[in-house]
Amino acid sequence: MMDTQEFKRWGHFLVDMIADYYDNIENFPVKSQVKPGDIISKLSVSAPKESDDFKSIIEDFNNFIMPGITHWQSPHFHAYFPANASFPSILAEFLCSAIGAQCMVWETSPAAAELEEQMTIWMRKFVGISDNFHGVIQDTASTATLVAMLCAREKYSNFSINKSGFSHSKFRIYCSKEAHSSIDKAVKIAGFGIENLVKISTDENFSLIAEELEKHIISDLKNGLIPLAVVAALGTTGSTAIDPINNIYEICQKYNIWLHIDAALAGTALILDEYSELRNQVNNADSLVFNPHKWMFTNFDCTLYYVKDKDTLINTFSILPEYLKTSNDDKVNNYRDWGIQLGRRFRALKLWFVLRSFGTNEIKRRIKLHIDLAKDFAEKVCNDTNFELLAPTHFNTVCFRFAPKGFNGNIDALNESILKNINDSGKIYITHTKLNGKYTIRFVVGQTNTEPIHIDYAYELIKEECYRHFK
Ligand SMILES: Cc1ncc(COP(=O)(O)O)c(C=O)c1O
């Protein structure tokens, strides 16, 4: 077994190994090139009875595991949305594992609870949103949206569903057709039934059409249904579309509906003054979620959930069995009551390390750089008549396809094969979506260390692969 001397030896070794990994990360194929079953076939069929030496564990990690890793931290990663990490955040995670605290209540680690409280305040100020919001760190945006739906349900029902279960009332939840699947999941889990999630049509920019929303609400009311919550998107996953939050807010006010904003990725952009108008709009919401683990250099997982009505949040989730009662319960935040799970990781530490180690100016500089690079990329796409830009570039995501003049074949199939060839090359990694039924390549700029040189490289690579078909 590993003693402290061995731990030191391998700890130092691993820090060197990690630093070398980052120095050489661009040499790895960004998307793992293994086939299904390749990794499991290399693993022994059961756990060893006796201790393996750590050297052989590391060797197997390098030989068996690394080939099956997709390198999310490569500056050539332009797929999905980022889950970007950084050195201060990695070191915080290291300390977190060492402390190994389970931070369910204040007393089980007062520093974790109080740092979490302070980090939600720092972040609220950094993002520039109203101090009427109370924050808590959750694991993911999916959880935070579920929490919002449960709060809306309990507020509306005066906590009767928590107590007695559903009666026959049919609650209705609304979001745009472009909204994230985590809303579907939340609606199912919260017991509303997926048939009661109303997907509202979007306009040419993939933003929810507010008039359509109101029409559905009126019709639902006529049919005896209960409009409960709207989830507005600030940055959809497909194209980073922005729903008309002001109009949606007016509708929510008129019909007494909970407004939750899903800004999972784009919440980070609110730190920039260019987006101050969006900040003002967000301030009207009942709740808001965004993920520093996506685009703020903080390792997965770290989600900020802000809610105005803290009492409803706590009344929805609070459970106090005898064994969890402490003498300080009335003086402190016991975050087990602010969400779903009892046990909690010490997530605030990495946020603290990131905010202090980068400083807010450097975080702003990098986020602005990512947005500028995405906009430059979009401009290049627009300037080439054989490409089509398929959605506005509001933040760091460019949606486009190759549609060469005079091409009579299947454009979807063409773009699908371009994407596959690029990803199989291992040089960069991009993914796709469908917008208006069109196969769309999404190019995202968001990895912590992405610089202009990486974007130039990616653009040339994509162009070369596209035109290779038409020489
Ligand atoms: C707009 C949006 N909402 C929610 C989510 C879910 O995020 P999480 O993985 O934190 O649950 C995503 C993930 O990409 C997203 O893009």
Burial annotation 115-135 (CB, 10 A radius, 16+ → b, else e): bbbebbebbbebbbbeeebbb
Cα(182) to centroid of ligand 1, in Å? Answer: 7
- CA pair distance 251, 122, nearest whole angstrom: 31
In this structure, the residue with its CA closest to atom 7 of ligand 1 is: 141
In this structure, the residue with its CA closest to atom 12 of ligand 1 is: 264
pLDDT score of 35: 96
3-state secondary structure labels for all residues of 324-335: HCCCCCCCCCCH
Tell me which fold the domain 95-358 belongs to: Aspartate Aminotransferase; domain 2 (3.40.640)
Cα(190) to centroid of ligand 1, in Å? Answer: 18
Ordered per-residue pLDDT tens for the chain, 471 residues: 899 999 999 999 999 999 999 999 999 999 999 999 999 999 999 999 999 999 999 999 999 999 999 999 999 999 999 999 999 999 999 999 999 999 999 999 999 999 999 999 999 999 999 999 999 999 999 999 999 999 999 999 999 999 999 987 799 999 999 999 999 999 999 999 999 999 999 999 999 999 999 999 999 999 999 999 999 999 999 999 999 999 999 999 999 999 999 999 999 999 999 999 999 999 999 999 999 999 999 999 999 999 999 999 999 999 877 777 777 778 889 999 999 999 999 999 999 999 999 999 999 999 999 999 999 999 999 999 999 999 999 999 999 999 999 898 999 999 999 999 999 999 999 999 999 999 999 999 999 999 999 999 999 999 999 998 776
pLDDT score of 326: 76
Burial annotation 200-214 (CB, 10 A radius, 16+ → b, else e): bebeeebbbbbebbb
pLDDT score of 471: 61
Domain ranges of the chain: 4-30+32-69, 95-358, 363-468
Domain 363-468 sits in CATH at 3.90.1150.10
pLDDT score of 321: 73
Tell me if 350 sits within 8 A of 298, measured CB to CB.
yes
Tell me which fold the domain 4-30+32-69 belongs to: dopa decarboxylase, N-terminal domain (1.20.1340)
Which residues, judged by CB distance below 6 Å to any ligand atom, belong to the binding site of ligand 1? 81, 140-142, 180, 182, 235-237, 262, 264-265, 291, 303
